[in-house]
Each structure stands twice: as C-alpha cells, then as structure tokens.
Chains A and B, each alone.
Chain A
Amino acid sequence: MTLPVDLDLIHNPAALTVPPRAWGEAIRSNFEARLGEPIAEMARFTVSVPNNTATVIGFPGGASLDTDNMQDPAINNDQITAQTAGMYLVSAAVIFPESTPGTAGYYWSLRLQLNGVDILPINQPSISGLSRRLGLNVVRFVPMNAGDYLRLSVLQNTGASRTASFRFSAWRVGPITPTTGFAYADLDTIQQLGFGDVAEPGLGDQIRTNFQSLANRPICVLGKSGTQNIPNDGTFYDATWTTEVSDAFGMHSLVAPDNDTIQLARSGLWLVVGNIVWATESTGTRSLRFYTNSTFTSIDPFFFETLTFAPGAENHGASFAMMIRSKQAEAMVMQVRQTSAVSLNLQTNCQLGVVWLGE
C-alpha cells in the first residue's frame, strides 16, 4: 500500500515559490493511498457445512480485491489479517439452501471472530415449518492492530450436512482515534484556477489539510462495559452505551440519560451499524429497532425493527446496517425489547456505531 506522504516535509509554499518535483509526486501518492485504503473482499459458494459443528470458513479462491495483503489464499486462507492498524468495517453474509427443512429447534448461526475468539453471534431459527432459503448478515466496526485477524465461523443443527455460500470483507475506515480540527476547503476558495502558474501562499497548506481531513473521517463507535438488564414486558428500552471505542469528534456522552444517543458531528451521508447480543434463553422473541430524528429530506425517518427468535443454546444476536442522509447534531438511538419468560441481559459485545461517508 502507498502510504500517505506529509507534503510539508517536501515543500511548504509559504510564499510564491515553485513546487519541486517531489511535492507533485507526493500529492499523487496521497491520492493513490486514499483510493487504495486497506480493503479485502472474498466470496465462496457451495461450501459443505457439517451438522452441529462450528466450522471456520476458508477462502482458497482469494479476494476480489485486496489492497493491503490482508488475505493469503494459500496460508490461513480463513483469515483477514490487518496489516495497518485502524478501525475496520466488517461484513459477513451467508445463505443456506432453499431445501433446508424448517423444523422447530433448527437454527443457523453466523459468528464473527477476532483473533480466534467469537465477538458477535447472529442466529436464525427455522420459520414456520417452511422450507425457505435463510440468510444471515453481520456488520460490525472492529478496532484492529496490525497482526490482528478476523475469521468467519458458521454452525447449523439441521441433522445433516448442508451447502452454504459466503461473503466476507473488511474495509479500513480510518484511525481508531481520528485527529480532529482539519478544516477541509475547496481549493478554488484559495486560488481561482487559471490566474497563473505560481501557487498562491496557503494553497500548499490547504492541500495538506485536505488530505488530513480525508484521512480522519468522523466516526463514533460505542460499546458496553457491563451488561444491561431488559425486562420481559415487551416494552422497548433504549440501549445505553458505557464505553466509547472511538469518539474523537464528541458525538456521545457517557453521562446518563444521554448515554443512549449519538449526535452526528456533521451533515451528510452516514453509515449506521448496530449489534445486539442477548444472554442465553430459549423462550420468546427479541426485537431490535433504530430511529433517528433526521429531517434532511421530506421523507420520514427510516425506522427498522427486526424480529428474531432465540435458539436457546447460545447467546443470540442481531445486526443491522443502514445509510442515512442527515443533518449535524441530529440524534440516533437503538432500542430493544424481549418477550422471554425472564428478564434478560444485553451482553458487553453490543455495539452502535456511525461513520461519515460524504456530504
């Protein structure tokens, strides 16, 4: 991967000066780095998954794109390994075949692993005795150091081996703790192009600042330092967030009652990701929903509620992802409810996160 180059180390055109060759090449290198941020995406089809055996999925066919040597088709091909530390957006998906019978008690589980340890289980039970194709999807922000690796594990208990298809990918969003204060500006505001060949004072500094701004996009990723008890009365409760995995832009407060909310740092296009993991319990339903007071357009806020059933044999999780266009300071909250026989704890691996994608 081409590493970003600090333009100031080459040339700081504080006055009307001629930029040297290396300055121009560094600008080009920085753009190439921006377009080649660490990312890897793999897919594999018709994989046999044995009955009732947790199976880590390998990808011997390699990646459709791998800009940072994160996956090796020959060695440990079940791993996406971070070569560059940072916050990664991870997505995993599986589809099980349509012929799979929908028998009570059957379930399918998709688990995301970090360094060999499960960090997020997503489950899907059989539905209404019906043979339908079932699909699971995990989306999560994962802070990673260089050398950390991700894996994808799957489990099904239908009584026989089943064939499934998978996608697995990771994209480095930016630093775990981005640096703030870089004021992006259109270069036209400094120098109207076409007024000569010599760079105006400040143009070089703004080019540098723009690169720094692009490399430090606003992000907020929240977690839990302990469990949160949710009564079994079917009422929706706000999930509260007691750990700020990443919040350099100050979008969240750890002080109750505001610790359930993310307030967006700026207007624009945002990706929102949520994960909920429940304590093990076999009865009732679990719901997860998300709302925002977005008023960017005349369209009502998007609002999703996922209904899932607990397999009972393990922690049960759900995941959502959505893109919204919203204004600065607008709020977003994730809520949960459950109808089991007892009150249940949300586990510490729950997560709510947002990342700014553009204007």
Chain B
Amino acid sequence: MSRYVPLTHLHDPSVDRFVPREWMAGINRLFRFNRNMPSCLVAVTEPISMAPNIFNTIPWDSVLLDTDGMFDPQTSPTQLTVRTPGLWWATWGIVYGLTSDTTLPRETRCFRNRQEEMIQAVNEASNDRFYGPTRGFMAYLEDGEFLELDVWLGSSGTSNEEVSAPFFFGMYLLASPTLEAQP
C-alpha cells in the first residue's frame, strides 16, 4: 500500500483560511514520503547451491529495507513487487561461487512479471576469484508488477554449482507523476 497522500485530497486552500489539521497532517506525510521514497533492498546472506545449466530464480533471505511492503518472504521470496506506480531505479549485484569447472560461463537475467527484462550479464566462471556483475537501470512499473533475478550456472557436469554471498537486489522510486491523481 502506498504511503502517498495527495495534498488536494485533504484540502485545497482556494481562499485565505486557517490551516486545518488534516491538511497539515497531509503535508507532514508528504514530507515523510519524499524523505523516504518507496524503496526495497534485499540480500542473499548464505551461499545457494543450484542445478547447473538451467535458469534458477534467486530467493532472497534477508531484508535490509522495505518501506512499501514490496517483499514478502513467506509467499514470494523471489519477488520485489511495486506498490507505487512510477519510474523505478533497480540495481542488482551478484557474486558467483568458485567452481572447478570453468569451461562454461555464468549468466544473470532480470525478469519482469516472469517475462525477461533486457537487463542481463554474462561472466566467466572462476576457480579462484569470486567474480560477479552489477547492473543498474530505470523502468516504468505499474502497481503489482514485480522483478526477479535468475541465474544460469554453466557446467559440463550435472552436480550443483554455487552462488556465493552476500549479494543484493534493490529498488527505489525516482518519479511518479500519477500520484497526484490517486484518490
């Protein structure tokens, strides 16, 4: 649920008048909203073992910040769901685990409503370095849309490969011109 309260919904000071308390409460809530725009930052704090050569969706095990109820670890531990429509900044970074099989790369893709978003990265596998990419982009997202992160751990074998930890996925609302029109 968005924390935004449209000012005009509370009071439109069309004439000189005293300050009604509802209007002042609206101003205060708007300041708080602007001070802390809707944002969410989640992390993986423990390494995850995953099947190779398929795309696996990352489940996030820790919440560092969630101002808008965007992350529900019980029902949707892989999703960051937008509660306030607008243009969002999304940033993720990942750290791949070490592997003895470096013949195939690691690939990370961002999904939007389970449809592939065009933000993606490919890394070489390594047996001695914890390599990983970061990505940052802006996208207009409606209320209810969600982002996820999938990884593909290449291997010439069938044994599980590992993503290391910690790494993160974060979102921050940059602008929302539709807010003023919300009831």
* Residues of A near any B CB (own CB < 8 A): 18-21, 23-25, 27-28, 31-32, 34-37, 39, 41, 43, 45, 64-65, 67, 89, 91, 93, 95, 124, 127-128, 130, 132-135, 137, 139, 165-167, 169, 171, 184, 186-188, 191, 193-199, 207, 210, 214, 269, 271, 273, 287, 296-297, 299-300, 302-307, 320-325, 357-359
Please name the residue on chain A nearest to B125 by beta carbon: A128
The reply to whether B176 and A35 form a contact with Cβ atoms under 8 Å apart is yes
Contact of A18 among B11, B17, B93 (CB under 8 A): B17
Q: Are A32 and B95 in contact (CB under 8 A)?
A: no
Closest to B95 in A: A304
Cα-based distance from A106 to B153 in the complex (angstroms): 23
Q: Do residues A193 and B175 form an inter-chain contact, with CB atoms below 8 A?
A: no
Which applies to chain B's interface (DSSP): helix, strand, loop or mixed?
Answer: mixed
17 A-B pairs besides A186-B28, A269-B65 with CB distance below 8 A are A23-B13, A24-B11, A35-B179, A65-B140, A65-B175, A67-B175, A93-B118, A130-B104, A197-B18, A214-B35, A299-B64, A299-B166, A305-B131, A306-B133, A306-B134, A323-B41, A323-B168
Q: Give, as a whole number of angstroms, the nearest-CB distance from A156 to chain B.
A: 15
Pair B137/A93 contact, Cβ less than 8 Å: yes
Could you tell me the dominant secondary structure of chain A's interface residues? mixed
- Interface hits, B114-135 → A, CB 8 Å: 118-124, 126, 129-135
Supply 8 A–B pairs (Cβ within 8 Å), ascending by A: A21-B13, A24-B23, A171-B89, A171-B175, A197-B18, A207-B27, A306-B131, A322-B91
Question: Does B177 have its Cβ within 8 Å of any Cβ on chain A?
Answer: yes
On chain B, the residues within 8 Å of A191 by CB distance are 24
Binding site for A on B (CB under 8 A): 7-8, 11-21, 23-25, 27-28, 30-32, 34-37, 39, 41, 43, 45, 62, 64-65, 67, 86-87, 89, 91, 93, 95, 103-105, 107, 118-124, 126, 129-140, 166-168, 170, 172, 174-177, 179-180
B124 touches A137 (CB 8 A): no
Are A39 and B87 in contact, with the CB atoms below 8 A? yes
Bound CA span A187–B33, Å: 13
Query: Is the Cβ of A199 less than 8 Å from the Cβ of B129?
Result: no
Query: Which residue of B28, B167, B172 is within 8 Å of A357 (Cβ)?
Result: B172
B118 touches A95 (CB 8 A): yes
A325 contacts B41, CB within 8 Å?
Answer: yes
Residues of A within 8 A of B172 (CB): 269, 271, 323, 357-358
